[in-house]
Structure 1
Amino acid sequence: MGIHPVIGVDVGGSGVKAALVDVERGELVSDRPRLETPQPATPDRVAHTVAQLVDGLGGSSVIGVTVPGVVSTGVVRTAANIDSTWIGTDACGLFSKQLGVPCTVINDADAAGLAEMRFGAGRGRDGVAIMVTLGTGIGSAVFVDGNLVPNTELGHLEFKGQVAEHYAAAAVRKAQHLTWEQWGRRVGHYLTMLTTLFSPELIVVGGGVSRKFDRFADEIAALVPTNTEVVPAALQNRAGIVGAALVAAGDR
C-alpha cells in the first residue's frame, strides 16, 4: 500500500470520529477525536465538522471518509440517517475541496466490513460473510470469498411489518427502554432472516455495541442456526475509520 499513516473519518448518524491509521497493520496511531454530527446533517455542515477533526489530527496526504448511505463513484445515492440533501451530492468532490487533498468516500458499513475482513474477525475467511453495524441504524457489508458486494443496505429490508433498523438498531434499544435480553432477541430474529436469505458462514456484529456483545450473545445463539457463526467485531467501532483509511490508501 505504501501510504501511511492515513486519516480515516467515520461519519455516523450521531457522531463523527477520525484518527490516523497505519494501513499496513490496521491500527490507529493517534487519538480518536469525536464530534457530534451536526443537525441537520447537511453536506456543508458535515464537511465542516470533518475539517475540524482533520485539522486537529494534523492532516494527511489522502483522506478516507465514510457516510451512512449508498455511495456510487463518489456520489451519495441515499440518506437514511443523514440529511436528504446528501442525495446526489458528489461527496468526493465536496470533501476534497473542503480538505484540500484527495478524498475517497465509501458507505460506512462497507468500510467497517473491509477492515474486519482484512484485520479482524473475518480475516482469512472464505465463503459468504456478512457484517452488520448496529448503531443509529443498521448497516451491512456482504462478502463472497473476501470480495465486497457494495451498498447492500440490509438494514432497510422490511422485517416484521417495518424497516428492519427500526426494529433492531442499537438506538432502538435505548429509545424503547429495552433490556439487553429483549433487544438481543430482536437482533437474533433479524440475523436469522439474513441467514435464510444468504446462508452466510459468518456474521460479524459491529458498532459500539460490539464491546458489550456478551450481554446479548446468548439470545442470538438461541435463534441463529448453528451453521452460521456469529462473532463481535474485533476492531469494534474503530472498524469504520480503519476501512475508510484502507480505501483512501488504494486498498479495497
Structure 2
Amino acid sequence: MTDARFTVLASDRSPSPSSDLGFGIDIGGSGVKGAIVDLRTGQFVGERHRIATPQPATPAAVADTVAEIVEHFGWTGPVGLTVPGVVRQQIMRSAANIDESWKGTDLYALFSDRLGGRRVTVLNDADAAGIAEYRFGSGVGDAEGTVILLTFGTGIGSALLYNGTLVPNTELGHLEIDGKEAEHRASAKVREDHGWSLEKWSKKVSKVLRHYEAIFSPTLFIAGGGISRKADQWIPLLTNQTPVVAAELRNTAGIVGAAIAVDEGLSF
C-alpha cells in the first residue's frame, strides 16, 4: 500500500523515513515507548510499541531496549529520545526513577553507537512534552510570551518556552516555597499519599502556581500528567491569576517532542 509520502512494507508495520515523518522514544521508569510520528500533525503513524524498562535500568540495558524498539518498526532514520533527568551537552546530569549509573553518561555516544552510528537527540522528558504541547496541543494559539508546562506525577516536571523557544532543564518542581520543594507540596503523588480531595489539593497547586507567576510572569500554564484527565474537576478550583489549560497530547507528548527535536536538529 502506498501514498505520496511513504511506503508500507509487507514485512514491517512502519513506513520508511520521509521528510514528513520522525521517530521518538520516551524512556521512563516503568516503560520504554516508541512510535513513528507525522511531523505535520503530531499524530502517530500506526500504534506505539512499549517494552518494560529493564531492571536494573542501566544505560547499556536501556540502550538495548531502545534498539529493539527501533528494529520493531524497521526505522532507519534519526531517533529522538527522552530521559527522566537533566541533559546538558548530551550528558546526563541527574537521574530520576532510573538507575544512578546514568549520571555522567554521554547520551549521544550511548545511543548513537547502539543504533549503528545514526543521528540522535536526547532531551529531558518534560522538555519534550512541552515542545509537543506547544506545537500541536494546548499551546497552539498562545505563542507569545512565556508558556510553562507542568507535569503532575511522582514529582512536578516542567518545560518553559518563550515565544516557542525552549529554555531547557528548568526543573521547577525543585523550587523551594516556604522551605519545601514545590513537588513535595503539590505533586499528584503527595495528594495520593495524604488522601487529599481535589479541592484541598488544588489549594496546594494554586500556591505553587502563584510562586511561579511571581518569578516568570507566564501567559499560560499547561497542566499535564495523569491527573490532567480530571482537569475539569480541579482546574476551575485554582485561584492563581494566569490561565491554566489541560495538556491535550498526554502520554504521547514525550514521543512527539523527541521526534520534533531530532528532526529539527535541536541541541541540549
Q: Deviations over 1:194-237 (max 9, x none)?
A: 112111110111223222211321232xx211xx1100112122
Give the match for residue 80 of structure 1: 96
Give the match for residue 10 of structure 2: none
Contact 2:23 2:34 in 1 (8 A): yes
Secondary structure (helix, strand or coil) at the match of 2:69 reads: helix
Contact 1:6 1:22 in 2 (8 A): yes
RMSD: 2.0
Give the match for residue 214 of structure 1: 232
Q: Of 234, 237, 242, which aligns to 2:251?
A: 237
Q: Which runs of 5+ in 1 are unaligned?
A: none
TM superposition shift of 1:118: 1.4
Q: Which runs of 5+ in 2 are unaligned?
A: 1-17
Q: State whether structure 2 residue 214 is matched by structure 1 residue 196.
A: yes
Q: Tell me the number of residue pairs that the alignment of Structure 1 and Structure 2 aligns.
A: 247
Q: Of 10, 22, 46, which aligns to 2:62?
A: 46
Q: Deviations over 1:99-125 (max 9, x none)?
A: 223211011111111111111211242
Contact 2:198 2:233 in 1 (8 A): yes
User: 1:100-249 residue pairs with structure 2 within 5 A?
Assistant: 100=116, 101-124=118-141, 125-220=143-238, 223-225=239-241, 228-249=242-263
Deviates more, 1:173-182 or 1:188-197: 173-182
Give the fraction of aligned pairs with identical amino acids, expressed as a percent.
51
Secondary structure (helix, strand or coil) at the match of 1:13 reads: coil
Alignment CA distance shift 1:181-1:84 (3 Å):
same
Secondary structure (helix, strand or coil) at the match of 1:216 reads: helix
What is the rounded CA distance, in whole Å, between the counterparts of 1:21 and 1:190 in structure 2? 34
TM superposition shift of 1:160: 4.3
Alignment CA distance shift 1:89-1:128 (3 Å):
same
Secondary structure (helix, strand or coil) at the match of 2:37 reads: strand
Alignment CA distance shift 1:240-1:175 (3 Å):
same
User: Larger Cα Rg: Structure 1 or Structure 2?
Assistant: 2
State the one-letter code of the partner of 2:139: G
What is the rounded CA distance, in whole Å, between the counterparts of 1:246 and 1:209 in structure 2? 25
Contact 1:180 1:216 in 2 (8 A): yes
Secondary structure (helix, strand or coil) at the match of 2:80 reads: strand
Alignment CA distance shift 1:137-1:52 (3 Å):
farther
Contact 2:121 2:265 in 1 (8 A): no
Task: State TM-score, norm by structure 2.
Answer: 0.84
Alignment CA distance shift 1:192-1:105 (3 Å):
same
What is the rounded CA distance, in whole Å, between the counterparts of 2:224 and 2:210 in structure 1? 16
Alignment CA distance shift 1:40-1:219 (3 Å):
farther
